[in-house]
Amino acid sequence: MPFQLGVFATVLDDAGHVLLVHRRDCDWWCQPGGGMESRETPWEGVIRETREETGFEVAVERLAGVYSWAPREDEVIFGFVCRVAGGARATSDESDDLPANTFPEHVHRIGDALRGEPGTLLKVAEGPSSRDVARGNVVPH
C-alpha cells in the first residue's frame, strides 16, 4: 500500500461546539477531512476537504497534532483546529456529547485539539482506526 497523508479539522463555532459530518458509506460520525491531493499543502488540504464535505469555508488557526499509525499502517494524519470563516452556523446546540458512533480516532483527535496544549502534539495513534471500522473490526459503543 502506498504511504498516505490525511488532514482533518476540529472546527469550532463561537460557542465551542464541534462540527461533525455523517458518512454516507457507513453509520459513523467524523471530523471533516480526508486524504491530501498531489501538490497541496496540509493546510490547503484541510480547507478543501472541509469545504467539500460541509460547504463551509474555514480558516486554519493552528496545527493541533500529527498522528502516525506506524508500524501498523503507512499513514500520517495532520489534525488542525479551524473556525468557520463563511456560511451559516454548522453545529447544533442539541447535544453536548459526541454521538456514540463517532470514529474512535476522531474522538481522540478532537479531545487533543480541545485541550489547547501549547505547541503541536506528536503522537502514535492508539486504538482502532477508521480503516478498522470500515473493515468491520469495530462496532459503535
Q: Is residue 140 part of a domain?
A: no
Confidence of residue 140 (pLDDT cuts 50, 70, 90): low
Name residue 21's beta-bridge partners.
30
Percent of the chain with pLDDT over 90: 37
The answer for residues whose C-beta is within 8 angstroms of residue 19's C-beta and 6 or more apart is: 9, 11, 12, 13, 31, 32, 54, 56, 84, 90, 91
CATH of residue 93: 3.90.79.10
Confidence of residue 60 (pLDDT cuts 50, 70, 90): very high
C-alpha span between 57 and 50 (Å, rounded)? 7
Q: Is residue 139 part of a domain?
A: no
Q: Is residue 67 part of a domain?
A: yes
Q: Is residue 141 part of a domain?
A: no
Q: pTM for this one?
A: 0.77
Percent of the chain with pLDDT over 70: 87
Range of the domain at 43: 4-134
Name residue 80's beta-bridge partners.
9, 63
Per-residue pLDDT reduced to its tens digit, 1-47: 678 999 999 998 888 889 998 887 788 889 999 999 999 999 999 99
- Into how many domains does the chain fold? 1
| H helix runs in 13-82, sequence order | 42-54
- pLDDT attached to residue 93: 39
